[in-house]
Structure 1
Amino acid sequence: MYQRFIAVGRLGRDPEISITAGGSRMASFSLATSEVAKGEERAEWHRVVVWDERLVDVIERRARKGTLVALEGQIRTRRWSGRDGKDNHSTEVVLDRFTSRFQVLSGARPHEEPVDGVETNQPVFDKRFAFDELPF
């Protein structure tokens, strides 16, 4: 079985970039998506974890709270035992190296130098992301 999570939303906070004990860089942020039902807007919050170092670079340079992004990843649930012995779990959208896509749509952080040949006032597009693949 195979599952995909595709969303367009805004970052709810500035991304956190960290380095694992093994030396890999990762990014995490919250993503707000919304829908209108019966005239009312309802927001959903998603925790996103990015393991693709190339995407981490783009996120670090261009994303901040409020940036509109499109992403595709997988839903994963982590489980662990806390120090108090209680079982904990967290469900996250995971973007890894081979099966994920990410695109900054608007609200990108201004940058003095072009990123990958793109002018600073333009969105950064990940060429792996094709809009004709979105189901809406």
Structure 2
Amino acid sequence: MINKVILVGRLTRDPDLKYLEDGNAVATINLAVNRNFKNSQGEYETDFLNCTLWKKNAENTANYCRKGSVIGVTGRIQSRSYENKEGTRVYVTEVVAEGVKFLSTQKKEVAAV
């Protein structure tokens, strides 16, 4: 079976970087990817895709990219489910990144102390 995704798009918000109890870094991003064709109104539509990045990919993306940065992501589609606080089953489909390429970078400003 093949489960391979290649995306190029813009970050819709700054990466959300967290560290798990085992020390692994994980970042979530939302990527805006334009479709290659026009709709019936003659406009290009955009898909907004959730991506999860791990370890160095997560740290580097959080350090060097922010809202509006153009990045390329290779990875796989993963679906999962969990039960929320209200007891409702929530289904999630996301892209788990295996590789990230920075196509435009905007290093975050470091606050002077």
Query: How would you bin the TM-score normalised by the shorter chain?
Result: 0.7 to 0.9
Number of equivalences: 106
CA RMSD of aligned residues (A): 1.7
Name the counterpart of 2:93. 91
SS for the counterpart of 2:57 is helix
Residue 40 of structure 1 and its aligned partner are, at CA, apart by 1.0
Q: How far apart, in 2, do the equivalents of 1:111 and 1:9 lie?
A: 19
Residue 37 in structure 1 maps to residue 34 in structure 2: no
In the alignment, structure 1 residue 109 sits paired with structure 2 residue 99: no
Give the corresponding residue for 1:78.
80
1:1-136 residue pairs with structure 2 within 5 A? 1-35=1-35, 36-38=37-39, 39-51=42-54, 53-95=55-97, 100-106=98-104, 108-110=105-107
Distance 1:83 1:10, change over 3 A: same
Q: Percent identity?
A: 28
Q: Report the CA distance between 1:80 and its aligned residue.
A: 1.0
More strand by share: 2
Q: TM-score, normalised by structure 1?
A: 0.72
2:31–2:51: 8 Å Cα contact kept in structure 1?
yes
Higher relative contact order, structure no. (Cα contacts within 8 Å, ≥ 6 residues apart)? 2
- 2:103 partner letter: L
Amino acid at match of 2:101: Q
CA distance in 2, matches of 1:82, 1:110: 35
The CA deviation string for residues 84-113 of structure 1, in whole angstroms up to 9 with x for no partner, is 221111111102xxxx2210101x11479x
Counterpart code for 2:52: V
The CA distance in 2 between the partners of 1:59 and 1:23, in whole Å, is 17
Between the aligned partners of 1:65 and 1:82, the Cα distance in structure 2 is 28
Moved runs in structure 1, 4+ residues, more than 4 A? Answer: none
* Structure 2 CA distance for aligned equivalents of residues 80 and 111 of structure 1: 33
